Chain A
Amino acid sequence: METLNNGAWQRSLLAIAVSCAFAAPAAADDLPAMGEEDSPWQVDVTYENHTVRRENVGLAKFRNTLQAEFDKGVGNGWKVHGIMRGSWDGVYRMNSDEYGNKAGGSINMQSTTPGGYLTTPWGTGPVTYSLVNGAFGLVNNAFVDAYPASNPNAGLRVLGDRWHSINGGVAFAVPVRPCDVDKRGCRDFGGYGDLKRSELEAPEFNDRLDFLRELYAKKDFDLGDGKSLFVKLGRQQVVWGRTDLFRVLDVINPVDFSRNNIYDELSDIRIPMWIAQVEYRMGASDTMQDRNLQFVWNVDKFRPNNLGQCGSPNSILDAGCFFRGMANLWDNGGTVSNFANVAPGTLLATNFGPGQIGLDKVHLPSWSLSNTQFGMKYEGVTQDGLSFSLNALTYRSQLPSLRGGKRATNSFTGVYQDAWPYLISFDMHYPRVNLIGGSMDFQVPAANAAVRVEAAYTDGEEFANTNRPELYSKNNVFRTVIGIDRPTFIPFISETQATLISGQLFYQHIFDHEWKRGSLGPVGMPDWEDNVIGTLLIKAFLKNGMVSPQVIFAHDFKARATVVAPQVEMHLSNDLKVTIGANYKLAEGRSRWEFDDCRACNPFAPFTAPNGDPDPFTSYSRGLAGMEPLGRFRAGPIGAAFKENDLFVKLNYKF
């Protein structure tokens, strides 16, 4: 299997992209000029300051971005396009108590007793080695009485404290300081999770050369008879689909949610990949007005979505904190709230030692030919104006799958096994996913609207599933979005400029969804079998478009979570734009998000069986539930961020 180290691979692609750009194929000789002749470099440099103030937190972003976009016609019809971006976010220094070197602190854990919640400092049990040894005579138990100086009760936060209280559920400590300050739980989950403060501050300057947002060469080879071969080679974004915000078909490039959660334009947060794109543009036929066959070969080393490192302002679904906390549990052990069900109505915080529960290995696919990703798309316009695409893609899931029931030391006996069914001992994987789908758009003249539809069916995605010994299952998924755009004259806004109203409904169905009621609560998959998310954009244009107020509503129907995001964009000159906005979340019925946390999975039978369990020697989940760790999948990105209400000011200037 051919493998190149990452840096060498990127340099090779860079060389190919640039050398192709200067090549002179004979097929180009008869091309019309079309402005693609040799031309001087065209360079545009822009600056952006994005400052965010978050409710109850203070400064959540002070990011300064300098971007240079450059274009050049290099002759024979080849054009080179590139974007270099460098940013520095001052929030890690300006609000260091929250996000920087002084973030976190000492924390308390919780135990549930019939008399109410008992709060104890992290690291102090009450369930410890001595307690278990004393109570059961388990001299080899692997619990700990205290943690060493390398794992102090400092620089910590309680998992999920940004969006919920412990409230009798599972909770554990999450180190939140940058990884050069506190290495605990630091792992490379795929571009995040192991970053130093300087790397969080200036995220583009890394070994994947992220400052090079785009660099590609492209050319349209005229094949005559209205046909052409379009080639685009290099680091780029390839965008499929027709909808906004949702990524049903738009899954070729991973996305960097650490930049601004779900609130940035996708084109700013797609992570460009080294891709070879070839389109056979067939033009019109006797029955079709336009036909195009596209091949996309993502030859870059795999990268997942960046979900944001724990301790940074944007950690979508709070996932980065869950991963870091779990990795810390594996590496160093830690206290887990409300864990040991030692008596009726009694769940005690427990001091786990290292190597018993948590997240161990992260399997990031290395570069190999078989790990590259390939897609095909047929896109056309029918005689009657229906624009459509048929898409197929084989790729790696950009979201991690946690496969549980892995290796661990039995906390009670000290026995090590390679697999413990139902144990929350995980490895992280990025499985291969195959996707087929399609999209279309058309006009509805009677409604003065344009309709966009997109759908995809995937095979290979993995979901958390407490009904399985390995705590995950592979499920096929169907996703679709329908969007309607309607420019509407709303006289009280403007009599001369239409207001754009754009609504979208996203629907997701998970096939073979597993959910059943256990003795203590529901068991199975926390993700909803069927869910709908709606978005509504109302955007007005005033003063010749120099002022543009807009509001976006998004509502997750199953999570019952809503975000309202108003903003006003003001062009103060051709080169200076100021945007002021906010996003505010609302969530009702948050108890709906709680789900089986596998405290009652009994992996170390019979010791971990719930008190009074009729079948204490069998491992399976009884369904004891809490908000952590699976509530995030039910809350979704809106619900999991419902306490992160932001006000922001953005300034853009072109030099």
Chain B
Amino acid sequence: MKKSLRKLLPLFVAASFGTAQAATEADVENTFNPYKAGMPSFAGLKAGMTINKGNADQFKDILGAGVFKLIKEGMFEMKVGPTTQFSISKAYIDATRANLNKTQLGAKPGDMISGYVAGRPFPEEPDAKDPRAGEKLAWNYKYGVNWGDGAIISPFYWQYRNMQTGKVEKEINWDFHFLNFMHRTKDAPVPEITPNPSGIFRAIYVKAHEPQDLKNTQLLIQRFEDDAKLDDAYLYLGFQRRVRRLAQGQATDSFLGSDLMIEDFEGYNGRVSDMKWTYKGTKNVMLPMWNHNELKLSSERSESDGYKYVDFAGQGGCFAEGTWQLRKVYVLEAVPVNPNHPVSKRVFYMDVQLQNLNGSNEIYDRKGELWKVFMVGKSHADHHLPVNKGAGIGIDDAFSMVDVQSKHCTTGQFKGQVDPKKNPPRLFQVQNLRGGD
């Protein structure tokens, strides 16, 4: 009997963390509409005002530590906008509701979850007493809406900038494509693209058009459903006319000399099991979120359809000229499992409604000192390109990756398009790379 109990004990332990507090319909309501009871507020904060080095201390509690440092040191001024709803697609919410409490954590952190079908796997409010609350949020991110079932950013302009001189050292023009192969909720085919024998969950395909030395460079990253499986990554170098398989370490290397590594894409582009995740609490924090068509946009470049890009200003032109709004966030900390990882810690301010990870991130170096601050501004989909209306995601619209140590930054201007027609699955096959110029 005792023997049997000992055998059963791990199951009880696992079950207690996985399902001890079953999510309810109210949790679903709250997770997708955290502002049901009203928008958050903070003393002295008003839409239309600016937070700058002069008044930053007053708002320190609602600023990420990295962003606070940037403002305090006078690198940029934050324009404040009103808090707005970023409603998620009904299909994703319905899937969350339909599969409530089906997802179980693995026996120990880093193990694969089970029972997940679609939607947000752990919609319940995280519990600070739950040692695996952070991991649940990481799974929510992995299976979050992000770019929906698929989308493209085309064109996507990156600029490498010297913060001290303002010199633009390099500009890249490329396309990014994202496609979910599994757990799809909105765009046909639902729920998955088959056949898919390797169990690819999601793939990212990138193609560079400029500058000349990167022209026709293509990158394909395949992330698997099985979180224990390493991503597969392939690089086609236009000047070599050859596809190269990337070693996994290149995901944590500077990507083509930018201030981003592949692991930084979308806030965090790695496996859940690569990090030890810790939920540090819930609070209201300023995040860059806006309505694109209400911003004063750049006149520097515009598209034939009239689309204009978010402008940049601040020190070195490193900061997007969008508005920031007070959002309910989960503070999430991720420490790499690999002790040789160039990052010692990532801190995310996860927007509760979208559960994305890229609003205002801090990245710490191996010595534990702040290395980079990553800010991705999102636009409401209904206030962006017509094709994005009703997409039910936050459209990434502009990013800044600021290296506070080397005083260098990489900025990005997006033209995000949630258009399934532009994302056929064959783009995400290795062979597609070989057909390049």
B-binding residues in A (CB < 8 A): 32-35, 44, 46, 69, 71, 81, 218, 220, 222, 226, 228, 230, 232, 237, 239, 241-242, 244, 265-267, 279, 281, 283-290, 292, 379, 381, 383-385, 387, 441-443, 445, 448-450, 452, 485-489, 495-498, 541, 544-546, 571, 573-575, 577, 652, 654
Contact = CB atoms under 8 A, between A and B. Distances in A.
Interface string B398-437: 0000000010101000000000011111110111101101
Interface stretch (B130-138, B238-246, B306-314): B238-246
B422 A545 contact: no
Interface residues of B, number: 62
Interface of B: 154, 160, 168-171, 175, 194-198, 200, 211-213, 215, 229-230, 232, 234, 239-250, 252-254, 256-259, 340, 342, 365-366, 371, 406, 408, 410, 421-427, 429-432, 434-435, 437
A381 B198 contact: yes
A387 B430 contact: yes
B195 A442 contact: no
Contacts of B429: 281, 283-284, 289-290
A385 B232 contact: yes
A228 B424 CA distance: 11
Interface centre among A222, A241, A244, A545 (most CB of B within 10 A): A545
B230 A242 contact: no
A385 B250 CA distance: 17
A545 B247 contact: no
A143 B245 CA distance: 62
A46 B212 contact: yes
A544 B257 contact: yes
Contacts of B248: 443, 445, 448
Given A379-B431, A441-B244, 11 more contacts: A242-B242, A283-B426, A284-B194, A284-B195, A284-B196, A443-B230, A450-B247, A485-B247, A486-B249, A496-B254, A498-B250
Contacts of B241: 237, 239, 266-267
A448 B247 contact: yes
A281 B247 contact: no
A223 B243 CA distance: 24
B207 to A, nearest CB: 10
A52 B258 CA distance: 32
Nearest to A82: B437
A228 B250 CA distance: 31
Given A495-B342, A541-B257, A288 B426 contact: no
29 contacts: A226-B195, A241-B242, A265-B239, A265-B240, A267-B239, A267-B241, A279-B431, A281-B429, A284-B194, A284-B429, A285-B195, A443-B248, A448-B247, A449-B247, A450-B244, A485-B245, A495-B365, A497-B254, A497-B257, A498-B249, A498-B253, A544-B170, A545-B254, A545-B256, A546-B257, A571-B169, A574-B169, A652-B212, A654-B212
Nearest to B258: A544
Contacts of A489: 340, 342
A220 B340 contact: no
A387 B247 contact: no
Contacts of A230: 435
A34 B211 CA distance: 21
Contacts of A488: 249
Contact of A574 (B211, B253, B340): B211
B169, B215, B437 pick with most chain A CB within 10 angstroms:
B437
Contacts of B427: 34
Given A34-B422, A445-B230, A573 B169 contact: yes
A442 B437 CA distance: 24
Contact of A35 (B154, B168, B171): B154
